[in-house]
Structure 1
Amino acid sequence: MSDPSSRARALESQVFDEWPSELRALFDGTALARETGFTASLVTVDANGHLRTSLLSLGELYAPDARTLSFSLWPGARAARALTAQAAKGSARAALTFVHDAAFYQVQLNVDILPDDGELASFQASIDTGELQRVAYARLTGGIAFELADESRDAVLDRWRSQVDRLRLAAQNRRAARGASGD
């Protein structure tokens, strides 16, 4: 006979290789003003084998389709340099972690460099595997979160919209180029 309390402690885990619909909606560029405090942690490995973390807002993330995530980093960021160096050797990888809707997500990504737009280092990643975890006895209420200062909110949202628009265009151009080459 099983202990009923063990079910209450049980870990719910779901594995995915495509964005669940609620995450696709989160990363489609329309939730910027509604989810200003959302933060994801992008973990990379540098040339010395050290783990590096970059914190990203929704203004730096865009999912052009169910298996892809485009993202932007400052060109001088350690994560941008690490991914660029990995890509030069043939294969760049990263993990994206975040809390959403009371669950913890970790998504393993295969990363490619997008063409330089002159301002940000942009990347497009495909999902290798993703995992959602939650428990019945506790509700995650947040991970790393931030609040925009009132005086800068509109300017930041405008910048984010511009960044997501550039990611959207880069993702469309990449899809068109792959379609033209038969990939």
Structure 2
Amino acid sequence: MSDSSASTPAPARPLEQNVFDEWPDAVRALFDGSSIGGKSGFTASLLTVDANGHVRTSLLSVGELYAPDARTLCIALWPQARATRAIAQSGRATLSFVCDAAFYQVQLRVAPLASAVGGDSGLVYLLGSIDTGEVQSVRYARLTGGITFELEGGGREVLDRWEKQVEHLKRAAAATRR
């Protein structure tokens, strides 16, 4: 007969979870608008909820995201995207992605950017502020990527477009600070 009162040590918590309200350094470097070609396989998932309560997902690249400071994120979306309409209705979105071997999920409050200076791309430019962010990792495994992609045919045309988009986001973000 075994002693049921004997205690067994609890396993070490494998999940590490932290909350943040400012971009960690690795994320800030990812969304800094530089070296876009070297970051071209990165994908973030922007989740929104439409008027019918359906979750909508838009996949975004570093060519559509720019963090001008530690608490904000500028986003470029197509005007016809369901996420664009859902954000216009709710002013909220969730951004999920993998960075620095961890999973990030960030709740954003989103509003239109006042102006996309020189923006002739046809895109809608939005300014998100961090409501709350969470980062999760486990000790027994390292996330090496989330949704990733390769650009067709070398992607020079797409990279050029992304660099222009991020430049528009930078100018628009700077204009809101004046």
Runs of 5+ unmatched residues, structure 1: 87-91, 177-183
Tell me the matched-pair count. Answer: 168
Q: Is the aligned partner of 1:45 residue 2:45?
A: no
Shift of 1:142: 1.3
**Structure 1, residues 19-58: CA drift from partner, whole Å, max 9, x if none?**
0111111101113111111000000011111110000000
**Structure 1, residues 103-157: CA drift from partner, whole Å, max 9, x if none?**
0000000101113645101100100111110000111121111011134x11111
**Measured at CA, do residues 3 and 33 of structure 1 come closer, stay the same or move farther in structure 2, by a change above 3 Å?**
farther
TM-score by length of 2: 0.89
More helix by share: 1
Distance between the aligned counterparts of 1:75 and 1:53, measured in 2?
14
**Measured at CA, do residues 121 and 2 of structure 1 come closer, stay the same or move farther in structure 2, by a change above 3 Å?**
farther
Match of 1:128 in 2: 131
Match of 2:145 in 1: 142
Letter in 1 for 2:149: F
Distance between the aligned counterparts of 1:170 and 1:156, measured in 2?
21
Distance between the aligned counterparts of 1:59 and 1:78, measured in 2?
19
Structure 1 residues 1-183: aligned runs within 5 Å: 3=9, 6-7=11-12, 10-86=14-90, 92-114=91-113, 115=115, 117-118=119-120, 119-151=122-154, 153-176=155-178
Choose 1 or 2 for highest CA Rg.
2
Letter in 1 for 2:165: Q
**SS of 2:153 mapped into structure 1:** coil
Distance between the aligned counterparts of 2:126 and 2:137, measured in 1?
29
TM-score by length of 1: 0.87
Alpha-carbon RMSD = 1.5
Match of 1:179 in 2: none
**SS of 1:130 mapped into structure 2:** strand
